[in-house]
Amino acid sequence: MLNCQCQNDDCVLCGAMFSSGDLGRAPACDIRGLLSRRRYAAGETVFREGTPCTQLMVLRAGQLKLTTMPLAGREQILGLLVAGQLVGFETSDATYPYTATALTPVEACCVTHKDMLRVLEENPSVALRVIQRFRDELVQAQIMIRNLGIKPAHARVASFILSLVPIGADASEPFPLVLSRLEIAELLGLSEETVSRVFAEFRRNGLIEAPHGEVRLLDAGRVRRLAGMGTGEAWSGF
């Protein structure tokens, strides 16, 4: 779980999400009370597609599954959110374009768009930090989109595994892997058999451990390279 910089559970700067080097303790605590802390059980719906989006959420712990229900009537997984990520920064008159469901027990901090905009206007350092976080998440999304379009299976699976690591967390620590192989396959545009084969290859080559319900990176550097986040590397397992 992320820790609050001013040690106040109601601080809008919880988890260093909006803090920066030149933003001290006093300004952080001056805007306390804007957040509401919410907890959700595994399997609980956090919000539904088409309902009004009036709040920004900072995920402090757990994983959220984002889904949509196309005309065909079958749920489609759009992606996952992990601790440290933001959701709901649409305009105040917009509706959620997807449904969010807690895959694990989830803890989130919520702030209304109105309050958040005021914080950003009054604290340029905070605004810059938020912009940087959105830029980082956009880069990750672009890598995933590129991998889905042109990269081989191992690059897609490597990107997916990296997307499960909470922001700021130690990549060597185990983290939940709740989706089934079939759900991962649908998300990545692969067959279930291919996903299972790639996970097996990663385990045999010492890249990951994947006991039931979780995964741990054993060689994060190589997984990043395979995902296209570093110098290219040939994969001998295929």
Mean pLDDT of 89-103: 80
* Boundary-marking domain end, from 135, 162, 182: 135
Whether residues 128 and 74 share a domain: the answer is yes
Whether residues 130 and 199 share a domain: the answer is no
Mean pLDDT of 194-209: 95
Whether residues 28 and 130 share a domain: the answer is yes
Number of structural domains found in the chain: 2
Q: Could you tell me if residue 104 is inside a domain?
A: yes
Q: Which residues pair with 36 in a beta bridge?
A: 110
Q: Could you tell me if residue 141 is inside a domain?
A: no
Strand order in the sheet with 214-217: 175-176, 214-217, 208-209
Q: Could you tell me if residue 9 is inside a domain?
A: no
Q: Could you tell me if residue 2 is inside a domain?
A: no
Whether residues 54 and 123 share a domain: the answer is yes
Q: Report residue 172 as tokens.
A: 């060597």
Whether residues 108 and 39 share a domain: the answer is yes
What CATH number does residue 72 fall under? 2.60.120.10
- Give the pLDDT band (50/70/90) at residue 181: very high
* Boundary-marking domain end, from 110, 135, 160: 135
* Boundary-marking domain end, from 105, 135, 165: 135
Nearest of 164, 216, 160, 213 to residue 189 by alpha carbon: 160
Whether residues 157 and 113 share a domain: the answer is no
Nearest of 26, 23, 28, 24 to residue 10 by alpha carbon: 28
What CATH number does residue 164 fall under? 1.10.10.10
Mean pLDDT of 190-208: 95
Domain assignment of residue 27, given as a range: 14-135
Whether residues 127 and 173 share a domain: the answer is no
Residue 149: per-residue pLDDT: 62
Q: Could you tell me if residue 145 is inside a domain?
A: no
Q: What is the pTM of this model?
A: 0.76
Whether residues 167 and 102 share a domain: the answer is no
Q: Could you tell me if residue 119 is inside a domain?
A: yes
Whether residues 19 and 125 share a domain: the answer is yes
Q: Could you tell me if residue 7 is inside a domain?
A: no
Whether residues 40 and 112 share a domain: the answer is yes
Mean pLDDT of 13-22: 48
Q: Could you tell me if residue 162 is inside a domain?
A: yes
Whether residues 90 and 201 share a domain: the answer is no
With 70 as the cut, is the pLDDT of residue 199 above it?
yes
Whether residues 184 and 114 share a domain: the answer is no
Residue 219: per-residue pLDDT: 93
